[in-house]
Every structure is written in C-alpha cells, then in structure tokens.
Amino acid sequence: MNHDILLESGTNELEIVLFTIANSSFGINVLKVREIINPLPITATPNSHQHVEGIIRLRQEVIPVVDLANVLALPPSEKPAQDKLIIAELNKMKVAFHVHSVSRIHRISWEQIEKPSDLSTGFESHTIGIVKMDQILALLLDFEKIVVDINPKTGLDVEEVKSLGERERSNKHILIAEDSAVLRKLLEETLSTAGYNHLHFFNDGKAAWTYLSTENVENPVIDLVISDIEMPQMDGHHLTKKIKEHPELNQIPIVIFSSIISDDLYHKGEKVGATEQISKPEIGRLITTIDQCLA
C-alpha cells in the first residue's frame, strides 16, 4: 500500500480505510494498515482470549486474528466467504483484524473527527473519534486499546520504569497530548514512578495547543511536550509544527510517542521538528529520553 499519497508533514490530515461490521461503519488509519486480504485458514489456539479467533500464516509470519465483531458485541458475518482481514501493524507487532467488508480510502482532516460523547455510541470504550463525512458517520476505533485488552504485555510496563532504579523527584513541567484515556492513566502512573509529578494532560492536540499558546500568568512554563500522533481535532505532527513555528515556544523539546512510528512517519516527524520519536510501548526509552532532554 503506497503511503506517499499522504500529503506533506503537519497538514492535520489523514487517510482512513472504511470498513463495516454488521451494519456499522468504522475506520482505521491507513498508516496502521500493511495490507488487506481475503480470509485465510485460521488455526485455533488453545486458551486464547475470547476475541482472538486463532492465528494465520502469511508469508512465513504467524499473525493473531482478532474478531472485531466479537470485540464490539456485534452479530457475526452473514457471508463469511466475503469477509476481509486487515493486516495492521501497531506497537511494533502485526495483528489481523477480521472485518465484514472494506470499502475505500478517504482523505479527511482531523478537524472532521469528534471525540465520542458517552451518549453518542455504545462502542465508546473502543472509539477514539467519530468521523463525519458527507453521507457517512464512521467510528475510528482505538486499536491500541483493543490489542492491550487482549494482551496487556503490549501496553506500558511500569516494572520497566522501576528497573531504572531509585529516582529523584523532578520539578520540571511536562505537557502530554494523548487521546487514549487508558494511555493517559498509564503515562501518569509510569511518569510519576519515574519522578515526574508536574504533568499536564490534554486529550487532543488542539486543547494542548490552546493551553500552550494562550498567555496566562497562572500557567506554569512547560519544559517538555510528549505527543501522540493520532488525535481528533489536531494531530501530533501539526501540534509539533505549530510549536516549532512559534517564536516563544520553539525551544521546547517535543517527544512524539506513538504506536505507528514507521520509516515514513519518522521522516514526517523530523520534518516538523520533533526532538525525538519513540514507538509505544517503549516506556523505558521514553523516560531516559525525557531525562536527557531535561538534564
């Protein structure tokens, strides 16, 4: 799949692959998708998680298959032979997401994606945003959370931070832009364990930018920014670009912490001026990078 069509860095746009499960429409960021294939024979694995159908072998790789209908408590496919497997890569691992049909790729702005309100969808715990297009409302799923729920080892490991040894408390202020509630909680826990207590969390880039760019005597000076890439309203690349173009904020170190750091994305992050880019869930590396930036 050619990602070069994806615009220059920091334009606040993304491309999503639309797919359906039962009669509902969902989306996945193209940057997570390696390929889309017809169903392959699935080998059942004993004692696996209820959402895992088994494993497939794809060109010598063994990949777990996650049944999204099962995850979302939706009815199974009526025409299984026409189903598709979306082979995705996130948190440095490959996963096959079993869906019922795949339509096409849409280019949209993060501004078209709204945070789900608790009333808007029964799937809110698995949704990071609602995509509004001409005739379609589609839900952007939180694939990282789905994977971490199945295999907690793919999430952030507090033990990894403890292994870094006794740490001094730091008086530095860190701003974190991260749209996943699960990851915000984990980051708070791990960064606090690492000695960083002055944490300022925002659940999208736009809210983080408003805080940073609004002169307010009460706001402490931010010493470092940690940002996800995928966020409703404003993504991490656009946020980084705006900070680096601002005459008074451009010296703040920015660490991009994302599940989709690929070669392509690394170049985009460099282009907008990110100080460092780290793939989730490498929390130990994140902490040592913060230590270096704030030394």
User: b/e per residue, 228-246, with b = 16+ CB within 10 A?
Assistant: bbbbbbbbbbbbbbbbbee
Identify the pLDDT of residue 121: 52
Q: How many CB atoms lie within 10 A of CB 10?
A: 21
Query: Does pLDDT of 250 surpass 60?
Result: yes
The reported pTM is 0.81
List pLDDT tens digits, range 28-75.
988 889 999 999 999 998 888 889 999 999 998 999 999 999 999 999
14 or 251, which is more confident? 251
List pLDDT tens digits, range 103-153.
889 888 888 888 776 555 556 678 888 888 777 889 989 888 888 888 877
Report how far residue 123's alpha carbon sits from residue 295's, in angstroms, rounded to the nearest whole number. Answer: 43
Amino acid at site 281: P
The alpha carbon of 283 is separated from its chain's Cα centroid by a whole number of angstroms, namely: 15
DSSP for 165-209 reads -----EEEEEEEE---HHHHHHHHHHHHHTTEEEEEEESSHHHHH
Cβ contact 53:42 at 8 Å:
yes
Identify the pLDDT of residue 3: 44
Report how far residue 269's alpha carbon sits from residue 286's, in angstroms, rounded to the nearest whole number. Answer: 16
Band of pLDDT at residue 256, cut at 50, 70 and 90: very high
Identify the pLDDT of residue 83: 95
171: buried, middle or exposed (CB in 10 Å: 19+, 13-18, 0-12)? exposed
